Amino acid sequence: MAWLPALGLALLMATPPQDSPRLRTLLANGTAILVERFAGARVLTVQVFAGARGVQETPETHGHRHLLEHLILRGKRGDLDRRLERLGIFFTGRTHRDALQLEFIGRPTQLDAMLSAVQELLEAPSFDEATVTRELAVMREEFALVPDHQRLSRTAWQAAYGVSGLDPFGTEESIARATPAGLRVLHASMFHPGNVVVVIAGDVEIQATTAKVRPIVEDRESDVELPAMPTREGKGSREEAPDAFGEARGAIATGLGDSTAATLCAAYGIAAWIENAYVTYTPSATGGLVIVGRTDANNALGSVIEELTEGDEALMFAPAKELAKGWLREQLTSPTSAASLRGLLMVQSAGLRPETLLEAVDRVGWTEFRQAIARFKQDQAAIAVGTRR
C-alpha cells in the first residue's frame, strides 16, 4: 500500500463519541497531527515520526538515518537529551525501516517543554565533523551489542526482501561514509512536511493541544515532491546468520488486512507453543515480516514448526487469537504505546489504524489460521539460522 498523497486542505476528523477521544489533523503541507486523550493518565507523551519516503535504506546510505537519530537526540547544543532529563522528560529515539521515531515522555504540565524540543528537532541541524566522528565511535560500541534476535531479524528480512529489506541499523563501514553535509540533506528529506507525523497522548484537551502543535509544523514548506514508498516484494528463503545464535522464521505480512491478522495470530500461537519463543512485528504498509524466533537455543524452533499437526494447531487456535488481541489491546491502553503504534501506522498511510488489525484478528477463522501457520513452514518462510556456536 502506498502512502496516500497529502491532501491540499486541512482536514479535521473527530472520532465517533463512543470511541476514545482522538483528533487527527492533516495539514495542507502534508504533516499530520494526532492528539488522543487518556483521561486521568499521569503520563504525557509527544512522539514525532519521520517517514522513510525518499530516504529508504540503500547499500550506500545504510544506517545513515540511524546515525542521524543519534545526532538529533543531542539537539543543537549537543546536550538536548540530558537537558530534557534534567527537566524530568525522558527522550529517546528509534529508527525503523519505515520511519524514524522520537519519543518524549513526561507529565501533562511539560507539554510546552516537549513541543519546544520538537521545534528544535525540526530545524535544520548543523553537525560538525568532530561531532559526527565522536558519534561514530559510540555507534561502533552499539554494533558490538546487537542482540541475537536483532541479528536474526536482519537476516530474515534479507532472506525475504534482499536489498529492499536492509535493516536501518547500518554497518560500521556504511555509516563511516556519512558526511555532515550529507546528513543535513538527509535531515531535510526525512523531515519533509509530508513525511512528518506528530502524535500526542495523555490527559490533554484535544482541540487546545492540536492548536499548540499547529504553529510548530504548519508553516514548514518544501519544494521537493515526495516519491511514493515502493512496495517490497518478498519471498520465502533461507539464510544463515553467522554472527547470531538461535533461529527465526518470518512470514511476509503487508498492510493490516486479514492475511496479516491471521499471520500475527499464527505467530503468537507458535510462540506460546514453543518455550521461550518470541514474536517481533513492526506493522508495515509496504511489506513487512511477522517473525517468530528463539535465541536461547539452536535448532529448537524450525523442527517444531515443521512437525506441527492439525491437532496441535487446533489447540493453538483459540489461545493464538487471544494473545494477538491481547497484544494489540495492550498497545492501545497506555498513552506511550498507543502513540507509538498509531504514529508508526499514520506515517506510512494516513488511513492505517490499529483497530483495523484488531477487527481483522477477530475475524480470523480456522482455515485462515492454518494457512497462516503454513507461512512459517520452510517452503514459505523467510528463515534465518544462526550458526554461531
Partner 1 sequence: MTWLSVMFVLGQAGPPVLVSEVIDPTAKSLRVEIVAGIPTSNSRERAMADVLGPAIVRGTIAYPRANLLGATSRGGQILVVRAAADHLRIGFSLAPRDFDLAVQLSDELIREALLSDESTQRVLDEHPFRSRSAWAMAWFPGSGEARLLNPADVKFAYRRTFAPGNVSIAIGGNFIAGEFRRRLGERFEHWRPVQAVNPRSRFQLEPPVKADESFRGNGSLVALDGPVVPVVGAVTTEASVRPTLPLASLAVAMMGLGKSSAAYETLREALGQSYRQEAALVPHAGGVRPVLAWVSTQPDVETARQALLKRIEAWTDEDMNLARAKLSQFADLAIPLSPWLFNSERPLTNSLEDRTFIQAYWRMKTGRAWTTPDTASVTLDAVRSFATEWIRDAQPRVIKGR
CA distance 380 to 235: 7
Binding test (CB under 8 A) with partner 1, winner from 63, 234, 246, 283 = 246
Assess 221 for contact with partner 1 (CB under 8 A).
no
Assess 216 for contact with partner 1 (CB under 8 A).
no
Please report, as residue ranges, which positions from 342 to 361 form the binding site for partner 1 (by CB under 8 A). Answer: none
Assess 143 for contact with partner 1 (CB under 8 A).
yes
Assess 240 for contact with partner 1 (CB under 8 A).
no
Distances in whole angstroms, Cα of residue 298 to Cα of each of 144, 156, 322, 372: 21, 16, 28, 24
| Contact residues for 281 (Cβ-Cβ < 8 A; gap 6+) | 253, 264, 267, 288, 289, 290, 291
Assess 10 for contact with partner 1 (CB under 8 A).
no
Q: What number of other Cβ atoms are within 10 A of residue 303's Cβ?
A: 10
Candidate ranges 48-56, 117-125, 209-217, 290-298; the one touching partner 1 (CB under 8 A): 290-298
CA distance 254 to 224: 28
Assess 242 for contact with partner 1 (CB under 8 A).
no
CA distance 285 to 155: 20
Q: Where are the alpha helices (DSSP H) in the chain?
A: 64-74, 80-87, 111-122, 129-144, 148-161, 172-176, 180-190, 206-217, 258-273, 302-306, 310-333, 335-346, 354-363, 366-374
Helical pair 80-87 and 64-74, crossing angle rounded to 10 deg: 50
Binding test (CB under 8 A) with partner 1, winner from 2, 4, 272, 374 = 272
Enter the DSSP assignment of 102.
Answer: E
Candidate ranges 29-37, 156-164, 319-327, 344-352; the one touching partner 1 (CB under 8 A): 319-327
* Minimum distance of partner 1 from residue 301's CB (angstroms): 12
CA distance 315 to 318: 7
| Contact residues for 52 (Cβ-Cβ < 8 A; gap 6+) | 65, 96, 97, 98, 99, 100, 190, 195, 229
Pairing of strands 22-26, 32-37: antiparallel
Candidate ranges 36-44, 226-234, 259-267, 346-354; the one touching partner 1 (CB under 8 A): 36-44
Assess 28 for contact with partner 1 (CB under 8 A).
no
C-alpha cell, 87: 527537566
Assess 138 for contact with partner 1 (CB under 8 A).
yes
In this structure, are residues 376 and 370 in contact, taking their beta carbons and an 8 Å threshold?
Answer: no
Binding test (CB under 8 A) with partner 1, winner from 300, 355, 370, 377 = 300
Please report, as residue ranges, which positions from 80 to 99 form the binding site for partner 1 (by CB under 8 A). Answer: 81-82, 85-86, 88, 90
Assess 43 for contact with partner 1 (CB under 8 A).
yes
Please report, as residue ranges, which positions from 102 to 131 form the binding site for partner 1 (by CB under 8 A). Answer: 105-107
Assess 137 for contact with partner 1 (CB under 8 A).
yes
In this structure, are residues 190 and 17 in contact, taking their beta carbons and an 8 Å threshold?
Answer: no
Binding test (CB under 8 A) with partner 1, winner from 150, 222, 231, 334 = 334
Binding test (CB under 8 A) with partner 1, winner from 46, 132, 323, 383 = 323
Q: Could you give the string, one character per residue 155-184, with x where binding to partner 1 holds by CB under 8 A and - elsewhere?
A: ------------------------------
Assess 329 for contact with partner 1 (CB under 8 A).
yes
Assess 40 for contact with partner 1 (CB under 8 A).
yes
Binding site for partner 1 (CB under 8 A): 40-43, 81-82, 85-86, 88, 90, 105-107, 134, 137-148, 243, 245-246, 268, 271-273, 275, 295-300, 312, 315-316, 318-320, 322-323, 325-327, 329-330, 333-334, 336, 388
